[in-house]
């Protein structure tokens, strides 16, 4: 037996017992005649004491050779500590070591295994197994486990069945790029890794499973953005015989349960907002509603003077930044520069200081009088002391720009509190989205999403106006889940593919199996998928997902620990009948 207890277990009531422990040497203090060692494992730290007078000579000698991260086993008697450590649960006791065995020596780790480590990001990624020994990472992985188990238990209790769907599937051009896997046995042919189990979960509904879920890896070969992973985990769900309302209720239930179980936060009912309202009020389809700064549209009160920039703009829109009237000229100039950065892309910014004395001072005083500015203040709900920031231009560009500014100001003003949770359903998404690159409409969610009843006809006349039975669950400004009610009859699905530019042959080749299935009694169905990595991070009060993933890829999509992706050898290529030309 390697150990009788773990390193977090021993307390004062164990004094006098003889125990055996195993773990890693966290640190060693050698005073010559006495050595103290902190022994660490997942559960905690126990202090070991080696004492010239009471510890056998050979044990004492061996103890002096122990370095950081050596794996050891000790046996000894639990004694009361002379100087107690109230910061750790085992801080009242220590073990007077009688036997010591080195289970494995360790090289000096490339960074300190401490809460505050000296290791940079790259180094920690390369030696991720050492990073995982640190509390910061270890605790996040344990936290993820807790969330995952809570999800599984909740859904299982509600009658959902977890079904595994295949990872080796067929590539389809719709959506993001696929990762593909060559098939050795089928020369020249490829599998694709699933971007999501979408069609399979729908087939499970046709198969009568009724309520399905799966905690599942999904793969998307997208251009990497900060905090995106090429492989990520979804809580994927589907239900039969449901309408949108049923799905919203079911998964509001799950999310409430998690907030309560994990964070001790009770939320009565999640607010709902249509996509159009979200865009109008926040310029964003995943608004953070933990704070105000709602958009005020100013066209009516800003386009009646000689200010050409506003008069030519499709949209003039502003927000009131709390307390911003006190910003110095320099600070405001910096804000203007901030919105002009290429990442935001505004051409400029007009501002109005709503002074504490009720007067206004603006960057466009030449054109607008106090009465005009008072109307702007009213529209943006500004209070004395606020700074009104106004952007203008094409509404499709201006809204996201002002949204970026709103989020930035909220971050700077510390209005985005990690321990505050503001969930929100965004509903009635457009069915289609215009794609500048291909000059065509694409399915905004995916091609299996059903339009709102009676709107199929609109596809011909005003496609951009067609709304879908699609919804997102937003938490603190992050999309944590999204789904839709699906098309479940062959005819509508065929029409949709046709509309999206698939020829009949293409639709048949790619999705014939699904359309066939729809002819054998497909129930009405719908579902949702949550991004587990992000959900866990937000519940954990963080915005970055990487530390909640045991072995994440870096921003270039590489696993620097195992050094992947990598070349494969010629023999492998030959077997696969592949030629690499670079
Ligand atoms: N499969 C969809 C996605 O990955 C979610 C859904 O519609 O259920 O976004």
Span 322-354, pLDDT tens digits: 999 999 999 999 999 999 999 999 999 999 999
Ligand 1 close to Cβ of residue 480 (< 6 A) = no
Take atom 8 of ligand 1 and give the residue whose Cα is closest: 528
**What does 72-125 look like in DSSP terms, one character per residue?**
EEEEEEEEE-SS--TTSTTTTEEEEEEEEEEEE--PPPSS--SSS----HHHHH
pLDDT number for residue 227: 81
pTM of the model: 0.94
Ligand 1 site-directed mutation target among 197, 234, 426, 429, most atoms within 8 Å of CB: 234
Express each pLDDT in 191-220 by its tens digit: 999 999 999 999 999 999 999 999 999 999
Sign of the Cα torsion 484, 490, 491, 496 reads positive
Residue with tokens 């991004």: 531
Ligand 1 site-directed mutation target among 443, 445, 470, most atoms within 8 Å of CB: 445
Nearest-atom index, ligand 1, CA of 195: 4
Nearest-atom index, ligand 1, CA of 448: 7
> 482 C-alpha vs ligand 1 centroid, how far in Å?
6
- Domains of the chain plus CATH, in order, are 12-104 (2.40.50.140), 144-167+196-272+423-548 (3.30.930.10), 291-412 (3.30.1360.30)
d(CA 274, CA 484): 14
Ligand 1 close to Cβ of residue 484 (< 6 A) = yes
Contacts for 505 with CB less than 8 Å, ≥ 6 apart: none
Ligand 1 close to Cβ of residue 202 (< 6 A) = no
Contacts for 496 with CB less than 8 Å, ≥ 6 apart: 443, 447, 487
Ligand 1 close to Cβ of residue 483 (< 6 A) = yes
> 431 C-alpha vs ligand 1 centroid, how far in Å?
14
- The 3-state DSSP composition of the chain as helix, strand, coil percent (nearest 5) reads 30, 25, 45
pLDDT number for residue 22: 98
> 528 C-alpha vs ligand 1 centroid, how far in Å?
6
Report the SS3 class of residue 128.
helix
Ligand 1 close to Cβ of residue 528 (< 6 A) = yes
pLDDT number for residue 286: 97
> 434 C-alpha vs ligand 1 centroid, how far in Å?
20
pLDDT number for residue 174: 66
> 483 C-alpha vs ligand 1 centroid, how far in Å?
5
Q: What is the dihedral of CA 418, 419, 422, 423, to 10 degrees?
A: 90
Cα–Cα distance list, 68 to 59, 97, 110 (Å)? 17, 18, 11
pLDDT in single tens digits along all 582 residues of the chain: 999 999 999 999 999 999 999 999 999 999 999 999 999 999 999 999 999 999 999 999 999 999 999 999 999 999 999 999 999 999 999 999 999 999 999 999 999 999 999 999 999 999 999 999 999 999 999 999 999 999 999 999 999 999 999 999 999 876 789 999 999 999 999 999 999 999 999 999 999 999 999 999 999 998 877 788 999 999 999 999 999 999 999 999 999 999 999 999 999 999 999 999 999 999 999 999 999 999 999 999 999 999 999 999 999 999 999 999 999 999 999 999 999 999 999 999 999 999 999 999 999 999 999 999 999 999 999 999 999 999 999 999 999 999 999 999 999 999 999 889 999 999 999 999 988 888 889 999 999 999 999 898 898 899 999 999 999 999 999 999 999 999 999 999 999 999 999 999 999 999 999 999 999 999 999 999 999 999 999 999 997 899 899 999 998 999 999 999 999 999 999 999 999 888
User: What is the phi/psi pair of residue 171, to 5°?
Assistant: -75, 140
What are the b/e assignments for 441-475, b being 16+ CB within 10 Å?
bbbbbbbbbbbbeebbebbeeeeeebbbbbbbbbb
- Token pair, residue 153, equals 């238990």
pLDDT number for residue 225: 79
Ligand 1 close to Cβ of residue 482 (< 6 A) = yes
Take atom 7 of ligand 1 and give the residue whose Cα is closest: 483
Ligand 1 close to Cβ of residue 487 (< 6 A) = no
Express each pLDDT in 236-284 by its tens digit: 999 999 999 999 999 999 999 999 999 999 999 999 999 999 999 999 9
Cα–Cα distance list, 315 to 390, 396, 397, 529 (Å)? 10, 9, 10, 34
Helices (H), 264-394: 275-282, 299-302, 308-311, 329-340, 370-380
- Of all helices (H) and strands (E), which one includes residue 248? helix 244-263
Ligand 1 site-directed mutation target among 233, 470, 527, most atoms within 8 Å of CB: 527
> 381 C-alpha vs ligand 1 centroid, how far in Å?
37
Ligand 1 close to Cβ of residue 393 (< 6 A) = no
Express each pLDDT in 77-107 by its tens digit: 999 999 999 999 999 999 999 999 999 999 9
Please count the residues of the chain.
Answer: 582
Take atom 1 of ligand 1 and give the residue whose Cα is closest: 198
End-to-end CA separation in angstroms for the chain: 54
Ligand 1 site-directed mutation target among 200, 285, 483, 488, most atoms within 8 Å of CB: 483
Take atom 4 of ligand 1 and give the residue whose Cα is closest: 196
Contacts for 54 with CB less than 8 Å, ≥ 6 apart: 96
459 near 466, Cβ under 8 Å?
yes
């Amino acid at each position: 037996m390697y150990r009788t207890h773990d390193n977090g277990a021993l307390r004062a009531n164990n004094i006098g017992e003889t125990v055996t422990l195993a773990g890693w040497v966290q640190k060693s203090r050698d005073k010559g005649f006495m050595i103290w060692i902190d022994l660490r494992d997942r559960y905690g730290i126990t202090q070991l004491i080696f004492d010239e007078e009471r510890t056998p000579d050979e044990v004492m000698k061996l103890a002096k050779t122990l370095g950081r991260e050596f794996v050891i086993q000790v046996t000894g008697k639990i004694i009361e500590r002379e100087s107690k450590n109230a910061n750790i649960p085992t801080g009242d006791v220590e073990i007077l070591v009688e036997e010591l065995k080195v289970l494995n020596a360790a090289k000096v780790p490339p960074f300190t295994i401490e809460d505050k480590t000296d290791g940079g990001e790259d180094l920690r990624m390369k030696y991720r197994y050492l990073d995982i020994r640190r509390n910061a990472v270890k605790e996040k992985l344990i936290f993820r486990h807790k969330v995952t188990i809570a999800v599984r238990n909740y859904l299982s209790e509600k009658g959902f069945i977890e079904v595994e769907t295949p990872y080796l599937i067929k590539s389809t051009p719709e959506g993001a790029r696929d990762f593909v896997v060559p098939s050795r046995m089928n020369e020249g042919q490829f599998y694709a890794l699933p971007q999501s189990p979408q069609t399979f979960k729908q087939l499970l509904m046709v198969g009568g499973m009724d309520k399905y879920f799966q905690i599942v890896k999904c793969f998307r070969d997208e251009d990497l953005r900060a905090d995106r992973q090429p492989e990520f985990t979804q809580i994927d769900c589907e239900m039969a015989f449901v309408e949108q309302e049923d799905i919203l209720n079911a998964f509001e239930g799950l999310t409430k349960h998690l907030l309560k179980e994990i964070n001790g936060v009770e939320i009565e009912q999640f607010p709902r907002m249509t996509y159009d309202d979200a865009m109008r009020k926040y310029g964003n389809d995943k608004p953070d509603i933990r704070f105000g700064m709602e958009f005020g549209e100013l066209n009516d009160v800003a386009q009646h003077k000689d200010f050409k920039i506003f008069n030519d703009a499709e949209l003039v829109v502003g927000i009131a930044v709390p307390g911003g009237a006190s910003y110095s000229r320099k600070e405001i100039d910096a804000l203007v520069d901030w919105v002009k950065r290429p990442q935001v892309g505004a051409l400029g910014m007009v501002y109005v200081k709503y002074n504490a004395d009720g007067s206004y001072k603006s960057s466009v005083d030449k054109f607008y009088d106090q009465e005009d500015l008072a109307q702007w203040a009213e529209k943006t709900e500004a209070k004395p002391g606020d700074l009104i920031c106004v952007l203008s231009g094409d509404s499709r560009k201006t809204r996201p720009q002002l949204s970026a500014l709103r989020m930035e100001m909220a971050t700077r003003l510390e209005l985005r509190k990690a321990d505050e949770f503001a969930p929100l359903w965004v509903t009635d998404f457009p069915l289609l989205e215009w794609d500048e690159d291909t000059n065509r409409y694409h399915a905004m969610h995916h091609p299996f999403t059903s339009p709102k009843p009676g709107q199929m006809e609109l596809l011909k006349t005003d496609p951009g106006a067609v709304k879908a039975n699609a919804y997102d669950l937003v938490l603190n400004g992050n999309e944590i889940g999204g789904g839709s009610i699906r098309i479940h009859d062959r005819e509508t699905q065929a029409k949709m593919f046709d509309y999206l530019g698939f020829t009949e042959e293409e639709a048949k080749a790619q999705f014939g199996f699904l359309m066939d299935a729809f002819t054998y009694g497909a129930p009405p169905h719908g579902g949702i998928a949550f991004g587990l990595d992000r959900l866990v991070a937000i519940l954990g009060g963080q915005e970055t997902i990487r530390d909640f993933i045991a072995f994440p890829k870096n921003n270039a999509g590489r696993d620097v620990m195992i050094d992947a992706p990598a070349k494969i050898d010629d023999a492998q290529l030959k077997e696969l009948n592949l030629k690499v030309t670079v």
